[in-house]
Structure 1
Amino acid sequence: MADAHTAHSGESHGSVGSYLTGFVIAVLLTVAAFGLVMAHSFSPAGTAIAIAVLAAVQVVVHLVFFLHMNGSSEQRWNNMAFIFTVLAVAILIAGTVFIMHDTAINMMSR
């Protein structure tokens, strides 16, 4: 019965230090995004691009420090599932935008 609680097949748990590092980086990225908006240092388009870049970096931070996704062989299935999910969402979004654009073009021509 004790083995059921101690055996974690393929699971890797982070240390307190890695969680704190991830938390501090995530907070700094969030503060940087708020600082960009509050400082009005970029144009609106530049601010949107900078926030998108900071958001992408924060997604990577969450994947690495909190979800423990890395290139190890134990994480291969998790990485494949994540890549499949990202691909499916990208196809869904691109298809939706294409259909909406095509519908708008066809509706305006009549």
Structure 2
Amino acid sequence: MSNSKSVQSHGHEAGHNAAGGSHGSVKSYLIGFVLAVILTVVPFKLVMDGTMPPSTVLPLILGAALVQIIVHLIYFLHMDRSSEQRWNVMAFLFTVLIVAIVLVGSLWIMHNANSLMMPGM
């Protein structure tokens, strides 16, 4: 009996998983979901209405996308400034750096290849 009680006491009651990270509450998941839906519906409505010029809609869509990335990182991936999340945040920032290097490098190579191969254009 005492063995099952000790197993039960080490369950998910404290809100931490085996790796030490915290789980989100239902309230935080609902807040994240509602924010994600709003940040999806608003740009969709802007595009479907067609009342604003594309030069205004595009920055609004990109801004909503960036805010939605932050919402997902905070509410669903639970990345914050806590000491438990420090390595996850560092790994995420390293991934962003590598993706940025690959993206900028690829655009730079394609631009130079285009300008060197098609000098009259």
2:41 to 31, 41, 57: 31
Residue 8 of structure 1, CA deviation: 2.1
* AA partner of residue 108 (structure 2): F
Partner secondary structure for residue 10 of structure 1: coil
- Indicate the structure whose relative CO is greater, using CA pairs within 8 Å and at least 6 residues apart: 1
If the length of structure 2 is used for normalisation, what is the TM-score? 0.83
Partner secondary structure for residue 104 of structure 1: helix
1:48 to 58, 77, 84: 58
Partner secondary structure for residue 29 of structure 2: helix
Tell me what 2:14 maps to: none
Tell me what 1:93 maps to: 103
Structure 1: gaps of 5 or more residues: none
Structure 2: gaps of 5 or more residues: 12-16
1:79 aligns with 2:58: no
Residue 108 of structure 1, CA deviation: 1.0
* AA partner of residue 99 (structure 2): V
- In structure 2, how many angstroms separate the alpha carbons of the residues matched to 1:99 and 1:77? 33
- In structure 2, how many angstroms separate the alpha carbons of the residues matched to 1:29 and 1:41? 19
Residue 41 of structure 1, CA deviation: 3.1
- In structure 2, how many angstroms separate the alpha carbons of the residues matched to 1:108 and 1:89? 28
1:102 aligns with 2:112: yes
The percent identity for this pair of structures is 52
If the length of structure 1 is used for normalisation, what is the TM-score? 0.91
Greater C-alpha radius of gyration: 2
What is the aligned length? 109
